[in-house]
Amino acid sequence: MSKATQRRERRLAQHLRHLAVSNPLQFKQEWRNLLDRWSLEAFHRGRRLRDELVSEGTQLPVFGVLRKAKRLLALCGEEAERLVGPATREFLEQDCGKAFSVAVAPHMYWLVNTARNAELMHAGTHRPPR
């Protein structure tokens, strides 16, 4: 990571840390915007993964998004972790896994997702799309 990237990350973390303490609602809105961008980035990385060969032993580029989010969350402090930590990890783990599985074996994602939707529908917590 270049020095300029590190400076931008630190500056963003300072801004978010201040918002988490002074205005939690605005912090959550800004964090949601970041999550949307990271989700999109994960899918772009998944497509790139499908088109390129990744050598054995290297980190999968799709999950780099998750590492980036965790690093920024750690820099933002305990208040930010309390506000959005668990939800962020769950959301990005699912999106990175989805991007990876769609890139590598789309039929497997469909099978797993269909089984999960069936479980939710049986439990009464999920409505099928119209």
The pLDDT-based confidence of 22 (bands split at 50, 70, 90) is very high
Rounded-to-integer distance, Cα 50 and Cα 36, Å: 22
> Average of pLDDT values for 17-36?
94
20 found inside a domain: yes
86 residue type, one letter: P
Cβ 103 vs Cβ 62: under 8 Å: yes
127 found inside a domain: no
118 found inside a domain: no
69 found inside a domain: yes
Q: Which two tokens stand for residue 66?
A: 């998750």
User: Does residue 35 carry a pLDDT above 90?
Assistant: yes
Q: Domains in the chain: how many in total?
A: 1
pLDDT tens digit sequence for 68-120: 999 999 999 999 999 999 999 999 988 888 888 888 777 666 656 666 666 66
Rounded-to-integer distance, Cα 86 and Cα 123, Å: 23
